[in-house]
Structure 1
Amino acid sequence: MRFAQIASLLVSLVPTAFSAPVEERQACGTGITPAEASRVRASFTSAGIVPTLIPTINPKVKLSITYGTKNVDLGTQTSTLDTLLPPTFSFTAEPGAPADATYSFFMVDPDVPGPQGAPVLGVRVNFLHWYISGVKPCSSSGNTVTFYELPTPASPGEQHRYTWLVYREPAGYKPNAIQAQVRPAFDLLGYTTRGGLGFPIGGNYMLQSITNLPSKE
């Protein structure tokens, strides 16, 4: 009798265990509204991220970034104290993508040493702050290729455009871990082109300066 009760309990738990990932995926959502996609494109262009960092962006997913209780939304200002620890992130499922599709997630600052470039020469380069490969929609987990390095803008009063981007990985994709360790002057476009990642399908960014005050949230 006891064995029968245990067996019945196990059977009742199996559907719940296997349905949990489906419920999480549905809760995260699919795609992005046309209005929101237009807002992302317009904001990336007005901020100069397009074409400074990337040639274009074609939003197909909504990318959410949160530091503690502070949500980042296309230019939210943050301070170094706000961003000491990695943010949580997730993005919606891409419409029409294969069920086993995986994605690359980058965080890049295109404004080193400052948005105006180096003194006299005016040269400005990218800095790779974070790179995770093999990410699934509705999940913050994957294979960390380049560990998170907190933002430390050194140019007073100038807002660095810390940018997160999502790319769908081609079948069989393997990140070039050696190239992804070269953080200063990281060639994002060259890296994504060589890896067959194409153009980003999701993006978000924040603005941060050494003079920004910590969030009171």
Structure 2
Amino acid sequence: MKRTWKDVSVPLRDGMVHWPGDPECHIKRVSRMEDGAVCNLTHISMSAHTGTHMDAPRHFIADGITMEQMPFEAVIGRCRVFELDCEDQITADDLKKLRLAPRQRVLFKTRNSTRSWATNEFDKDFVSIRQDAAQYLVEQEVMTVGVDYLSIGGFNKDGVETHQIMLGAGIWVIEGLNLAEISDGYYELICLPIKLEGADGAPCRVVLR
């Protein structure tokens, strides 16, 4: 049976949910053929960390490398989706039950995929990665980590620390995935962020097969 690619990105839309304090997402048609224009033209204004996006080390590391310097092997290749039944945060003890390996690309599916994305309001209680889990991921030398809401770190808990630990160790981070239709297991991953020169992050399209 032919395997099909599954899009695990969230759609970008005008006024969509975003991290509190970040610029809002505005998508507006500024030229319309139905109004007599020769073409349609859309204007987009938003944070680089809107919707499905990647963090570059520069996001929390002052001299960290920027988005256009990302190695393609971090986001193209075999990955493992782990479905975790966590009510609050992913801990080191949760991760020690898994078979993590050096240079592995891992995506964590939690209740965020079905609960947090179901509302246009920001979910302050989304499942995130605790500091000790971030350090464990570094110790296991994983290459890439993906999560199913807007941040690897929690809202008002471990947000800065988790980012500093992981990005400081050179782990590439994918945030804002929707894994609701994805089961635990191995997949092919393609995740290509926009090539924004000097940027600390960038929106991306992510597919699994």
Q: Which TM-score tier does this pair reach, normalised by the shorter chain? A: under 0.3
Would you tell me which structure has more helix in proportion to its own residues?
1
* TM-score, normalised by the number of residues in structure 2: 0.27
- Report the structure number with the largest CA radius of gyration: 1
Higher relative contact order (CA 8 A, sep 6+): 2
